[in-house]
Structure 1
Amino acid sequence: MPPHVRPRRSTDVPPPLGVTRWGSGTEVAVVARHATAVDLCLFDAAGERRIPLRRTAYGIWWDDVPELVPGTRYGFRVHGPWQPEHGHRHNPEKLLLDPYGGAVEGWVHWRPEVFGHAVDDAGHSAPDSLDPRDSAPYVPRSVVLDHTFDWGEDQLPSVPWTDTVVYEAHVRGLTMRHPAVPPELRGTYAALAHPAVLEHLTGLGVTTLELLPIHAFVSEPALVQQGLHNYWGYNTLGFFAPHAGYAAAGDPQGVADELKGAVKALHAAGIEVLLDVVYNHTAEQSSWSGPTLSWRGLDNATYYRRDARGRDIDVTGCGNTLDLRQPLVARMVLDSLRHWVENYHVDGFRFDLAPALARGRDDAYERDHAFHVALQTDPVLSRVKLVAEPWDVGVHGWRTGQFPAPFAEWNDRFRDTARSFWLADVARQLHGQPGHGVRELATRMAGSADLFADGNRGPIASINLVTAHDGFTLADLTAYEQKHNHANGEDNRDGHSDNRSWNHGVEGPTDDPAVTAARHRSVRNLLATTILATGVPMLVAGDEAGRTQHGNNNAYCQDNPLTWLRWDHAPWQEELLADTRELLAVRRELSLLRTPEFPRFAPEAGRTRLRWYDETGDVVDGTQWQDPWRRTVVAVYDTLHAEADRQAVALVLHAGPDQLEVVAPAVEGVTGWRVRWSSGGGPPATGPVAPGRTLTVAPTTFTVLGGQPRR
């Protein structure tokens, strides 16, 4: 029996949700707890055929439907009460997608009364004449897929967290302008598998490709009305379906197979694939103003959080919030996650607005929420990488450091501290104002134990990032102090205003060589801080080569050259790319920078030791830790293995405006220090510097010193 066809064990309890092929036939099941009847709608060249589902139990409707073979287009129509004040919004005139549908074919066409003419979610006008046999011309269809695929010898790379380097990228943005990728493949899943793209990723030294949402999604009507559309994809239409717009293939089965082929090729290159997933809300927006496409019409009262008057409780900023307090909703999310692991072989997930998934009966975040418990105990999901974006927009929504194992978390404290130290505080000092000193920076560089020590999570729970898809690019952090989002059509009101950026004296592009040199140095400082800090580094595609969005820090609706990576690099960009490779090579070489445990000040065999020195070679004291004017600190890492295996590295973080003489630290077993890398550029010092002797570091630079062991 093929692996996608399972034996049916019982007929008096509901089958798995969605379409399931058994040895004896095919069944379909859907959640509609408050419905009075549910019709399955099949579509073919003759039009629509409706089949009433005959069985119901536990809020699930199902039936045997032999016609549901791979390739079948289908949807649902649901009968039941229309009582918005009680959360019920049933309307059999609405064709609804299957929440478990493995593919979505077609676009959402917004009706003519919305814009004066029918427009799809990509901004294209609908055909002038619609097929008169189509009773739902504005709605896409779910499609049955065959998940048989030749995976060959595919194996999950299973990169340890200590070795992981995350690379956040957009399917289209990464490959749309790559000259080595055939034009017909650019911007597609197939392009991810192109040898030139794989070579860039492996040559750079990243281990884990984190893709912005690839679940089927649609654009918000307000964007379509402006001639824009959703680029990032945080507006999900189907949690089990890959987004067809990212495929070179033109049919639903081909879309799925193309994505699987890309994952297989990435795995063969040793690269993991993480999916950015959006289970906190759906594309249906608010019940009072958004469309009814699937969940709203099936069982609005079950799927969404509501207040006493039936209105949506919105902690996502997108109009609605899925209610994972409901077992059937949590089941949908868990089933979706397993689907992507088992059928697409993905290696893990990054959860958008993760606190929204674990808000309890009183709407407060719960660390021991049933959803978290399910992830921790699930035999499939507990073994893949799980990353939380630890905030949402609800009350008390900022929860960095509070997620349970095995979650890792985006560390916004790291982001803000690194930006402040290398950018905002440098600008403040130039104006005679104190900054934040070095204490917070040292805490972040050491793995953020204040956030992640509880529960024995360790520094590998900290995803260290300075940039992400939302916000300034790394280069723009050094070139803009104000956001420039006018192209988004919201009068520059959208996007963050607290960017902790510094334009180095000129807003935007400049030909001033002194300004550009300072900006490039600042980019290198931030890259080094991200890559070499204890924890798990995350880079954003293009930052390694100085990508700019010209000051747009919220380019969610810009699917154009503004957001697509350029591959024709200027000399300074090639140099930056080489520096990124070198920094990642240093991280791979020095295991003491990749420790799964927090470094300690006291020596302990086999464990990384970390001590902090000032520029005079003395250990930083309490007064210096509290000094808001202090701009220099030296982090010294070493281990107490046998001398032949001894490793030692010193990171000199100097954000002062002048060059500085720094005393090389005295470390047991180290006879000298050699400059391995410096953000100041230029050739390294000709020879090692003996402990107690001085070396000169340039203004506002990050310098890496490698310890020479006694032989």
Structure 2
Amino acid sequence: MIKSPALAPGHFAPLGATFDGEGVNFAVFSEHAKRMTLCLFSPDGKTETHRIDLPERDGDVWHGYVSGVKPGQLYGLRADGPYQPSDGHRFNYNKLLIDPYAKRLTGHATWHDALMGYTVGHADEDLSFDTRDSAKYMPRCVVEDPSFNWGNDTPPNTPISRSVIYEAHVRGLTQLHPDVLNKGGFLALASDVMLDHLVTLGITAIELLPVQAFINDRFLVEKKLTNYWGYQTIGFFAPDPRYLTQNALWEFQHMVARLHSVGIEVLLDVVYNHTGEGNEQGPTLAFRGLDNASYYRLAEDKRCYINDTGTGNTVNMDHPMVLRMVMDSLRYWVEVMHVDGFRFDLCSTLGRTETGFDRNAAFFQALRQDPVLAGVKLIAEPWDIGPGGYQVGAFPPPFSEWNDKYRDSVRKFWRGDDGQVAELADRLTGSAPQFDHSGRPATASVNLITAHDGYTLADVTAYVERHNEMNGEDNRDGHGANYSDNFGVEGPSDDGTINAARAQRRRNMLATLLLSQGTPMILAGDEFGNSQSGNNNAYCQDNAIGWVDWDNADTDLIEFTTKLIAFRKAHPILRQKRFLHARERLIDGIEDLFWWRADGEHMQDDDWNTPELRFLCAEMRTASGTPKYAVREEAILLAFNAGEALDITLPEAPKGKHWVLHLDTSDPERSPAPADGGGIRHCHGARDAP
């Protein structure tokens, strides 16, 4: 702890706390503050030892250099300025604030009314002013030197066309694994047993639910629940403390290096559309107290917030310094922490301007021209609840997008809904109606049948009603339209026939996912039948409901999923960048996609319009535009039967070739063998037991 800090003007860049070997430069943005104070704390964080007004202001950046400060120093900020909510200003010098650029936090805020800038219960509500010091209830920022010995770490740079994404929660994936140490944290994910599972399965990228520092919502804490998923970010540079089992920044870097060493990329689910401070009745933790009118999009009545996110506030990406913070954050995670890409939560919000969603909004332009970020994987969640918020297919290259149309179509088809064959055909071939424009590849569609938000795959085949009672919202939360099927029994069953049919349905859907054009994404645990007991909104369930159950893993399903992924990797036809089309191409005049009926004849218009049709058969060849000597040498025939068992007449194989049956979901252990006799007898339907 320093006794008498020596203060110098310092520099306005970089923002945040930067250690240079002899001291720390502190720089903070605030356009409307009148004073910015640095607060230093004792090593145990209990005593505020110094308050230092930052001596210089360049433009809207306040800065100062403090000699003798070293990594490990605990600090926070206080901002002085007008408290005029009707004008959008909510400065309150009594509130200790998190540095938006802090690289580590000591913990999480402890809920208390002192965290509010206003007096809770006052007649004027948030127009009142609370004078209590909030420091006792706030985490401390930590000065960090993020340097790390990366050795020979090399990003895998897996082409998106070869990617198989695995969406996982750091704690949920590792907490119940019997052979993992440091359970629930980054080090657990870096363990040999976790790497072995992912490598054996064939995963190329792990997409982590939010790991940037977030808060536990007060209403959840009061119900003895927690913000398990993490979609309430409060620090865009700091890993959340709950995943640092050694309280050290290197834990995250070590995890990335370990995953890279086995060829697996790390993608982060990031939440830049809103923060955890909520609406005008929320706490003053960071951005609100530093410069509310700059960091947030305010309504016409500046006391209130535009709420396109459904969380109470919306980050103001139109402000250049706020946009800079987001860009700095993304570059930090790539350059310093070595991550390989991002999935943007509610990405439509990031592209919304005063006139609505704009695929050329400032954020998208900044990403596309940035020399660091333009080369990493960028995935959009292409919707929010704001006006015109549903934008599937509308994002600019090089974005890929979560495709909920794919999810719903696959579920409906295998459930046996009428009129789904034509829809599935679109999804199977990369969702061209949505993505085949602006030079976008078929891989722009991130195909999923499940994700963290909704049922697991096992629950899609076991429940028709959500069972979210443990969330404390009287089962009103979560998706209402799940397009699921319970085969006549809600939840677990002792009926062997039902369980066999459910297992076949899971294999059917996994096979559809991994045989489709586009980029497949698997939810962690789906490869072995993990269940959440019918809870389709486990955002607050940091317990056995939300954790992956390794003890009851279906090893047969793991083997089949591994087989599917290996087959996809071995056959480039299944992962083409160019869209397939069942018509002559201008490039070479050769078709690359054929649709067949079960009798071996081409599909006709009337066939596509038959509501009761439950059979789809596609013959795929290499898309036009590649060298001819590599184009027509092979084909893949995919047959999907969601109806009664039937016989299939195979179309004529390419010249000089013969059909080989490689995968059969009704016989998952079957070895490849020639399809003799020009057909397949008794092709099992969706409800048939294997």
Mark yes or no: TM-score above 0.5. yes
2:633 pairs with 1:650: no
Aligned pairs for 1:382-421 (under 5 A) are: 382-421=374-413
Q: C-alpha deviations, 1:564-599, integer Å up to 9, x for none? A: 1122246xx111111100100110110111111112
Q: Distance in 2 between matches of 1:243 and 1:607?
A: 53
Q: Distance in 2 between matches of 1:57 and 1:162?
A: 46
Corresponding residue for 2:322?
329
SS in 2 for 1:300: helix
Between 221-230 and 618-627, the greater mean CA deviation after superposition:
618-627
Aligned pairs for 1:478-627 (under 5 A) are: 478-569=461-552, 573-601=554-582, 602=584, 609-627=592-610
Of 426, 447, 456 in structure 2, the residue corresponding to residue 443 of structure 1 is: 426
Q: Per-residue deviation at 1:136?
A: 1.4
Aligned pairs for 1:57-456 (under 5 A) are: 57-111=58-112, 136-182=135-181, 185-249=182-246, 251=247, 254=248, 256-287=249-280, 289-310=281-302, 311-362=304-355, 364-423=356-415, 426=416, 428=417, 435-456=418-439
Q: Which runs of 5+ in 1 are unaligned?
A: 1-9, 116-133, 429-434, 704-711
Q: CA RMSD in A?
A: 2.3
**Do the aligned partners of residues 580 and 378 (structure 1) sit closer, same or farther apart at CA in structure 2, a change above 3 Å counting?**
same
Q: Per-residue deviation at 1:47?
A: 2.9
SS in 2 for 1:387: strand
SS in 1 for 2:620: strand
Q: Per-residue deviation at 1:68?
A: 3.8
Q: Distance in 1 between matches of 2:577 and 2:590?
A: 10
Q: Distance in 2 between matches of 1:635 and 1:147?
A: 51
**Do the aligned partners of residues 240 and 607 (structure 1) sit closer, same or farther apart at CA in structure 2, a change above 3 Å counting?**
farther
Q: Distance in 1 between matches of 2:134 and 2:647?
A: 78
Of 610, 615, 630 in structure 1, the residue corresponding to residue 613 of structure 2 is: 630
Between 317-326 and 40-49, the greater mean CA deviation after superposition:
40-49
Q: Per-residue deviation at 1:641?
A: 5.1
Q: C-alpha deviations, 1:686-707, integer Å up to 9, x for none? A: 952357445330122899xxxx
2:41 pairs with 1:37: no
Q: Distance in 2 between matches of 1:376 and 1:113?
A: 42
2:461 pairs with 1:474: no
**Do the aligned partners of residues 598 and 645 (structure 1) sit closer, same or farther apart at CA in structure 2, a change above 3 Å counting?**
closer
Contact 1:671/1:691 (CA < 8 Å) preserved in 2? no
Contact 2:357/2:389 (CA < 8 Å) preserved in 1? yes
Between 599-608 and 514-523, the greater mean CA deviation after superposition:
599-608
Q: Per-residue deviation at 1:683?
A: 5.7
Q: Per-residue deviation at 1:24?
A: 8.0
Q: Per-residue deviation at 1:464?
A: 0.3
Q: Which runs of 5+ in 2 are unaligned?
A: 1-7, 117-132
Contact 2:115/2:134 (CA < 8 Å) preserved in 1? no
Between 503-512 and 549-558, the greater mean CA deviation after superposition:
503-512
Q: Per-residue deviation at 1:281?
A: 0.7
Between 369-378 and 658-667, the greater mean CA deviation after superposition:
658-667
Q: Distance in 2 between matches of 1:682 and 1:16?
A: 56
Q: Per-residue deviation at 1:113?
A: 8.1
Q: Per-residue deviation at 1:93?
A: 0.3
Contact 1:525/1:701 (CA < 8 Å) preserved in 2? no
Contact 2:501/2:687 (CA < 8 Å) preserved in 1? no
Q: Distance in 1 between matches of 2:10 and 2:48?
A: 32
Q: Distance in 2 between matches of 1:55 and 1:596?
A: 53
Contact 1:606/1:641 (CA < 8 Å) preserved in 2? no
**Do the aligned partners of residues 460 and 607 (structure 1) sit closer, same or farther apart at CA in structure 2, a change above 3 Å counting?**
farther
Q: Per-residue deviation at 1:155?
A: 0.3
Contact 1:614/1:633 (CA < 8 Å) preserved in 2? yes
Identity of aligned residues (%): 45
**Do the aligned partners of residues 608 and 191 (structure 1) sit closer, same or farther apart at CA in structure 2, a change above 3 Å counting?**
farther
TM-score, structure 1 normalization: 0.89
Q: Per-residue deviation at 1:66?
A: 2.1
SS in 2 for 1:653: strand
SS in 2 for 1:382: coil
Q: Per-residue deviation at 1:518?
A: 1.1
Q: Distance in 1 between matches of 2:155 and 2:293?
A: 39
Corresponding residue for 1:7?
none
Letter in 1 for 2:142: V
Q: Distance in 2 between matches of 1:204 and 1:686?
A: 20
Between 512-521 and 637-646, the greater mean CA deviation after superposition:
637-646
Contact 1:673/1:691 (CA < 8 Å) preserved in 2? no
Contact 1:679/1:701 (CA < 8 Å) preserved in 2? no
Q: Distance in 1 between matches of 2:576 and 2:73?
A: 51
Contact 1:19/1:27 (CA < 8 Å) preserved in 2? yes
Q: Per-residue deviation at 1:669?
A: 2.0
Contact 1:156/1:272 (CA < 8 Å) preserved in 2? yes
Contact 1:323/1:329 (CA < 8 Å) preserved in 2? yes
Q: C-alpha deviations, 1:296-334, integer Å up to 9, x for none? A: 000000001111111111111111110101111111100
Q: C-alpha deviations, 1:131-161, integer Å up to 9, x for none? A: xxx9711011111101111100000000001
Q: Distance in 2 between matches of 1:599 and 1:644?
A: 13
Q: Distance in 1 between matches of 2:590 and 2:98?
A: 54
Letter in 2 for 1:591: P
Q: Per-residue deviation at 1:685?
A: 8.4
Q: Distance in 2 between matches of 1:244 and 1:687?
A: 53
Corresponding residue for 2:652?
666
Q: Distance in 2 between matches of 1:28 and 1:468?
A: 40
Aligned residues: 656
**Do the aligned partners of residues 608 and 530 (structure 1) sit closer, same or farther apart at CA in structure 2, a change above 3 Å counting?**
farther
Corresponding residue for 1:676?
662
Corresponding residue for 1:17?
15
Contact 2:210/2:269 (CA < 8 Å) preserved in 1? yes
Q: C-alpha deviations, 1:506-559, integer Å up to 9, x for none? A: 111111111111111111111011111001000000000000001000000101
**Do the aligned partners of residues 400 and 670 (structure 1) sit closer, same or farther apart at CA in structure 2, a change above 3 Å counting?**
farther
Contact 1:595/1:608 (CA < 8 Å) preserved in 2? no
Q: Distance in 2 between matches of 1:92 and 1:82?
A: 10
Q: Distance in 2 between matches of 1:701 and 1:43?
A: 64
Letter in 2 for 1:558: Q
Contact 2:18/2:143 (CA < 8 Å) preserved in 1? no
**Do the aligned partners of residues 393 and 50 (structure 1) sit closer, same or farther apart at CA in structure 2, a change above 3 Å counting?**
same
Q: Distance in 2 between matches of 1:702 and 1:528?
A: 16
